[in-house]
Amino acid sequence: MGGVEAGEDAVMAARREVKEETGLADLEFVQGFHETINYMFQAEGKKIYKTVVFYLAETKIKDVV
């Protein structure tokens, strides 16, 4: 579901989420690159507000699953 856990900053959370989802642990994040979007949707009659932050990172792993 992707969120910042206690004791993490946003980059630490991104690193953890990528490792959980892909197994990649050697990420090199591009300093200063991040893009934030905010949006709203309705589910079960409730308005839900989301903030998503995108980062750019590189890995040396060629076979990513």
Residue 7 is predicted with a pLDDT of 93
Average pLDDT over residues 12-31: 94
> How far is the first Cα of the chain from the last one, in angstroms, to the nearest whole number?
19
Q: Percentage of the chain with pLDDT > 90?
A: 85
| C-alpha span between 52 and 37 (Å, rounded) | 5
**Tokens describing residue 44:** 């079960």
Q: Per-residue pLDDT for 1 more than 80? A: no
**Mean per-residue pLDDT over the chain, rounded:** 92
The pTM of this model reads 0.76
44-60, pLDDT tens digit by residue?
999 999 999 999 999 99
Query: Beta strands of 1-65 (E only): which ranges?
Result: 28-43, 46-58
CB 12 within 8 A of CB 52: no
